[in-house]
Amino acid sequence: MSRPIGGTGPERSGTMRAAVFHGREKITLDECPLPECGPNDAIVKVTLTTICGTDVHIWREEYPVAPGRIVGHEPVGVIERLGAAVTGYEIGDRVLVGAITPCGSCFYCQSHSESQCSAHEDSWQMIGGWRLGNSIDGVQAEYFRVPYAQANMAKIPDELSDEQCVLLADIASTGISAAERAQVEIGQTVAVFAQGPIGLCATAGARLMGASLVIGIDSIEGRLSLSREMGADVVIDYTDQDPVAAVKRLTGGKGVDVAIEALGTQQTFQSCIEATRPGGTVSSLGVYGGKLEIPVEPFVYGIGDKNILTTLCPGGKERMRRLMELVRHGRLDLSSMITHRFDLDSIEDAYELFSSQRDGVVKVAITP
Ligand SMILES: [Zn+2]
Ligand SMILES: [Zn+2]
């Protein structure tokens, strides 16, 4: 079957509403031009999206993004237009697109580092595989352009709702990967430091990997109860007791096999090193600012055989397909993490709520 040059689907011109970054604590709903579809692209009409902690870093100017950029990187939607080179999809297909959109063919993609994909289009840049709402326009909008669409659109099974899928694009893929990358073995012990959205998904990931004891650490009661729901066997409120001492007590004095860092502070990173047994693994998800120091004593002066590894969200359509299968077969249910719902028109209120962490907010769902 041949596809007309220039792709299929209605060629629209005009404007759409989108959340645009304009500098410190200024993300506003603007009228923007509709995205254009290149031969390897698709245009997706967004049906549900959310706000990520990383978007808040952009909003606060803690992570640099060009002013004028449409933000957001967690989309569920419907294919509106397909580039001429994209095959195997139909206009109207429901799709999930990961936060990271690897090209599939560059050095990094071919070296099993798809998240670090650095294909031509953007020229080389840090964490190149994260394009949406970073190096190209994002998804907190009525429509967005999917780059390398052939590699990045996962069709959504009919029985799954948008809300069941939207958190898979980033936080579930990221959180679960902390346990996967650490190669948690069945019967091992895992402690997850911080139970925000990503830490909660890391807790679910530790359970999925077969850990026998999963310990969730935070200070907010709502998050500790969600932690239990996501698979923690024991939760520790670090304002009640020293979490490292508690972890040691729970593991016969040794420390856990794997400690997952899910906040991005010196304190939690250090606690992870202290809470890990010799030969164990610190699996770090946090995005750090300033300087990160390794205290030598708990690191056993560099000869304790402790591993430290970091992970950026795995993306691509096959990753998204497998995550959706976990939901479809009842192994993963993140629905209670969506605590608030907004229209795209109220996105500024959503940022205000999410960034201030008021009203027990965990994740917000945004409907264009
Ligand atoms: Zn994110
Ligand atoms: Zn690539």
Ligand closest to Cα of 173 equals 1
Query: What does pLDDT average to over the chain?
Result: 94
- Residue 251 CA to ligand 1 center (angstroms) comes to 33
Ligand closest to Cα of 55 equals 1
Amino acid symbol at 195? Q
Task: Give me the pLDDT at residue 4, please.
Answer: 47
Is residue 219 classed exposed, middle or buried when 0-12, 13-18 and 19+ CB atoms within 10 A define those classes? Answer: middle
Give yes or no for residue 123 having a pLDDT over 60.
Answer: no
Give yes or no for residue 5 having a pLDDT over 50.
Answer: no
For 88, 179, 194, the CA distances from 2, given in Å and listed in that order, are: 12, 43, 51
Span 165-172, average pLDDT: 98
- Residue 21 CA to ligand 2 center (angstroms) comes to 26
Task: Give me the pLDDT at residue 119, please.
Answer: 72
Containing H/E element for 239?
none
Task: Give me the pLDDT at residue 3, please.
Answer: 45
Task: Give me the pLDDT at residue 262, please.
Answer: 98
pLDDT above 70 covers what percent of the chain?
Answer: 96
d(CA 242, CA 271) in angstroms, rounded, equals 10
Q: Which residues place a Cβ less than 5 A from the ion ligand 2?
A: 102-103, 106, 109, 117, 119
> Quick check: 196 and 223 in contact, CB under 8 A?
yes
Backbone angles phi, psi at 101, to 5 degrees: -120, 80
Q: Which pair of tokens denotes residue 322?
A: 């497998």
Q: Which residues place a Cβ less than 5 A from the ion ligand 1?
A: 52, 54, 170
Buried b / exposed e over 52-83, threshold 16 CB at 10 Å, is bbbbbbbbeeeeebeeebbbbbbbbbebbbbb
Q: What is the pLDDT of residues 23-60, one digit of tens each?
A: 999 999 999 999 999 999 999 999 999 999 999 999 99
Helix (H, G, I), strand (E, B) or coil at 334: coil
Which residues, at least 6 apart from 163, have a Cβ–Cβ distance to it below 8 Å? 48, 335, 338, 365
Q: Which pair of tokens denotes residue 303?
A: 């000869």
Give yes or no for residue 170 having a pLDDT over 80.
Answer: yes
Q: Which residue has the higher pLDDT, 157 or 64?
A: 157
Task: Give me the pLDDT at residue 126, please.
Answer: 62
Q: What is the pLDDT of residues 331-367, one digit of tens each?
A: 999 999 999 999 999 999 999 999 999 999 999 999 9
Span 282-288, average pLDDT: 94
- Residue 51 CA to ligand 1 center (angstroms) comes to 8
> Quick check: 76 and 168 in contact, CB under 8 A?
no
Torsion of CA 74, 80, 83, 84, to 10 degrees: 150
Task: Give me the pLDDT at residue 289, please.
Answer: 82
**Which of 118-122, 222-226, 230-234 shows the lowest per-residue confidence on average (mean pLDDT)?**
118-122
Q: What is the pLDDT of residues 228-258, one digit of tens each?
A: 999 999 999 999 999 999 999 999 999 999 9
- Residue 180 CA to ligand 2 center (angstroms) comes to 21
Task: Give me the pLDDT at residue 2, please.
Answer: 39
Q: What is the pLDDT of residues 300-309, one digit of tens each?
A: 999 999 999 9
Task: Give me the pLDDT at residue 290, please.
Answer: 82
- Residue 366 CA to ligand 1 center (angstroms) comes to 14
Ligand closest to Cα of 129 equals 2
Helix (H, G, I), strand (E, B) or coil at 129: coil
- Residue 263 CA to ligand 2 center (angstroms) comes to 27
- Residue 322 CA to ligand 1 center (angstroms) comes to 19
- Residue 124 CA to ligand 2 center (angstroms) comes to 11
Task: Give me the pLDDT at residue 120, please.
Answer: 60
For 179, 242, 289, 296, 304, the CA distances from 274, given in Å and listed in that order, are: 18, 12, 21, 10, 11
Q: What is the pLDDT of residues 68-84, one digit of tens each?
A: 999 999 999 999 999 99
> Quick check: 141 and 19 in contact, CB under 8 A?
yes
pLDDT above 90 covers what percent of the chain?
Answer: 91
pTM of the model: 0.94
Span 129-157, average pLDDT: 97
Torsion of CA 101, 130, 197, 156, to 10 degrees: -10
